[in-house]
Amino acid sequence: MGKDKIRKFAENKTFNNVIQPTREEVMSNFLYKGNWKEKFFKNDNPIIVELGCGKGEYTVGLAKYFPNKNFLGIDIKGARFWRGAKTATEQNISNVGFLRVQIELIEYVFSIGEVDEIWITFPDPQIKYKRTKHRLVNPIFLDKYKKIMKEEGTIHLKTDSEFLHGYANGLITGMGYKVLSSHHDIYGAPEYELPSYVREIKTFYEKMFLNEGKPITYLNFKLKT
């Protein structure tokens, strides 16, 4: 492990907005499950989660945009979300946190109906068929999300992958769920068709893909038949 990673891991331990439980702690009556508002955010505001948050740009960006909502970035790589945690700490953004945990354990992290929205921004599309089970929008993951989300909760998928966008769109429709918005190029769509924050908040990868001339897709849907 490089010195920079070691430094970031050490600094993460000093941040009040970072939680890094062991797998055993998560799977055995996790302290925050069902208690995120009371024990972590200390308010009664809605909870929005970003899965695979990377450097945390979207988590922090949304937290700034919506100060009356709570935002939690989840990723297994603490050296990545260190940047978001540090930015939130330096800028005193109190409605944002970061959790280091594997996404497949999300049912152990939240109680039924505890989450209002989920964001998935630029995940690995896992194009090969044998990698289907690792796609963050596969049927197994969607079933997990449905359990922890409020009935009217929505999921946002933002990606440069036309493959993943099409796969998710077809899967959601095929499972009988409701697609609210689907765009193959958010920067080519009329402004009135999308909320401003969908365009205004950009991750490291989005900026890179835009520089390469790739269109950015967006899908918003409900896990409700």
Distances (CA, A) of 217 to 3, 145, 182: 37, 21, 8
Backbone angles phi, psi at 161, to 5 degrees: -90, 110
Q: Which alpha helices (DSSP H) does 13-91 contain, by range?
A: 23-27, 57-65, 78-90
Q: Judge whether 124 counts as a catalytic residue.
A: yes
- 109 near 39, Cβ under 8 Å? no
Q: What's the sign of the alpha-carbon dihedral 126, 130, 135, 138?
A: positive
Burial class (CB in 10 A: 0-12, 13-18, 19+), 36: buried
- Cα–Cα distance, 201 to 53 (Å, whole number): 13
Distances (CA, A) of 165 to 34, 95, 122, 123: 32, 30, 11, 11
- Cα–Cα distance, 66 to 200 (Å, whole number): 13
Catalytic residue among 4, 44, 124, 143: 124
Q: What's the sign of the alpha-carbon dihedral 56, 62, 63, 65?
A: positive
Q: Which residues are catalytic?
A: 124
